């Protein structure tokens, strides 16, 4: 990842302040920003792309920790931060706070990238230094990333909704409810797809986009995200259509996909979701149910490795570390083929194509050292099997809480202490003033 970037920092009152990095523009009202949007050079446009890609990585640990704690995938024990085991789990009389780090930080980070993509959209539209095909490349990338960032915030607030129209950061549009926001995100992705068709990509991306750096690859990435959004909207036929236009490969490598990359290079970021095994003080451990519920022989137990001694805090305990990201430079997936195979299985179940669904589920099972599926073939039984495979295949990748919520199954999550709660959404941040 290049370290000299143009990264737009503020969404005015929406987002709050952040420290400036090298190459970032600290004030959206400066002539420097005006010059970029008025008639930017190729280099300036490329820098905006780099800034958007880089910004997607900020506070990912807070996002994944928060939704994974509520979804009873993990515990986060911290000597400095008790809210991981109190508010996020509903301990005692605790409730979720609308003015604390676990919602305000990821919310702000995602909207900073949305602001960056809006600047890129305006800048690319106005540039006289690029061809129309090159312009479409910038526009298609910006819309794809914008939709993805909006989706992550909607994953958190769910029925409370999000702001979609924030092009004028000083006068943002109203909140859209969940259904309307998903419709808007799908529309933005469709617009990105249209732009990427026949586009020429002249900007550089990190190796997290390896194999997907040209227009055809970005189009497949766009359609993979569109398939995810389609199942969230219960648009099953649309999900299958989007999969056919993506990099979905039923017999392909599970890991093929698009990733956030990290490095030890000067000015770059380390993977914020990495914590070494057998740590004390700052610990991320698997919820005990992960190992208790797993089928013997399933190789995905390797995502939750045994500790030398159990970790405990606030009446909670686990003897397994989360071991999904196994170094401080490990990549974090944005979307990968294993998820797409599971989306295919889900859409096939929901459209009544049971044999196809079983084939896909068996592809996951046998790929993780399990025998073929031998359970019931009713839609309800297969949905349970699909959700089970998503639980283990996508562990600590930001899905389980969202999955159980969309199937109205949050009540099946374990409650570890008598007065704990399973929240169904985060509140809108206080500084939104709605």
List pLDDT tens digits, range 160-189. 999 999 999 889 999 999 999 999 999 999
Can you give the pLDDT at residue 434?
Answer: 62
CB 45 within 8 A of CB 124: yes
CB 106 within 8 A of CB 156: yes
Can you give the pLDDT at residue 169?
Answer: 83
Assign domain 1-204+262-271+300-330 to its CATH architecture. Alpha Horseshoe (1.25)
CB 219 within 8 A of CB 197: yes
Can you give the pLDDT at residue 36?
Answer: 85
CB 302 within 8 A of CB 325: no
Can you give the pLDDT at residue 32?
Answer: 63
CB neighbour list of residue 245: distance below 8 Å, 6 or more residues apart: 193, 219, 220, 223, 226
Total Cβ atoms within 10 A of residue 129: 13
Can you give the pLDDT at residue 170?
Answer: 85
Name which of 54, 51, 70 is nearest 62 in CA terms: 70
Can you give the pLDDT at residue 334?
Answer: 98
Residues of the chain under the 50 pLDDT cut: 1-31
């Amino acid at each position: 990842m290049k370290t000299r970037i143009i990264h737009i920092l503020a969404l005015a009152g929406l987002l709050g302040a952040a420290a400036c990095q090298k190459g970032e523009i600290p004030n959206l009202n400066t002539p420097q920003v005006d010059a970029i949007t008025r008639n930017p050079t190729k280099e300036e446009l490329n820098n905006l792309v780099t800034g958007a890609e880089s910004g997607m990585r900020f506070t990912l640990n807070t996002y994944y920790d928060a939704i994974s704690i509520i979804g009873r995938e993990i515990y986060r024990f911290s000597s400095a931060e008790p809210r991981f085991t109190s508010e996020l789990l509903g301990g005692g009389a605790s409730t979720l706070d609308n003015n604390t780090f676990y919602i305000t930080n990821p919310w702000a980070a995602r909207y900073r990238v949305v602001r960056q993509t809006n600047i890129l959209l305006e800048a690319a539209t106005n540039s006289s230094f690029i061809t129309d095909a090159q312009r479409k490349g910038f526009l298609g990338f910006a819309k794809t990333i914008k939709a993805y960032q909006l989706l992550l915030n909607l994953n958190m607030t769910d029925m409370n909704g999000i702001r979609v129209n924030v092009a004028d950061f000083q006068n943002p549009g109203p909140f859209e409810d969940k259904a309307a926001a998903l419709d808007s995100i799908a529309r933005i992705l469709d617009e990105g797809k249209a732009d990427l068709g026949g586009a020429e990509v002249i900007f550089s991306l990190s190796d997290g986009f390896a194999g997907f750096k040209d227009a055809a690859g970005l189009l497949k990435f766009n359609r993979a995200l569109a398939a995810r959004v389609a199942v969230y909207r219960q648009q099953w036929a649309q999900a299958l259509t989007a999969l056919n236009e993506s990099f979905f490969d039923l017999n392909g490598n599970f890991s093929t996909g698009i990733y956030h990359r990290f490095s030890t290079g000067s000015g770059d970021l380390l993977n914020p979701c990495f914590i070494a095994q057998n740590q004390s003080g700052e610990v991320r451990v698997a919820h005990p149910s992960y190992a208790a519920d797993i089928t013997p022989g399933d190789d995905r137990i390797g995502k939750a490795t045994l500790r030398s001694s159990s970790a405990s805090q606030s009446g909670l305990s686990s003897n397994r570390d989360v071991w999904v990201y196994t170094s401080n430079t490990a990549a974090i997936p944005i979307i990968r083929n294993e998820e797409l195979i599971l989306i295919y299985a889900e859409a096939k179940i929901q459209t009544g194509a049971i044999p196809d669904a079983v084939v896909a589920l068996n592809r996951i099972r046998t790929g993780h050292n399990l025998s073929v599926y031998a359970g019931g073939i009713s839609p309800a039984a297969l949905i349970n099997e699909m959700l089970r495979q998503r639980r283990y295949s996508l562990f600590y990748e930001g899905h389980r809480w969202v999955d159980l919520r969309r199937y109205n199954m949050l009540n099946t999550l374990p409650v570890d202490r008598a007065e704990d709660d399973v929240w169904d959404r985060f509140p809108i941040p206080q500084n939104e003033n709605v």
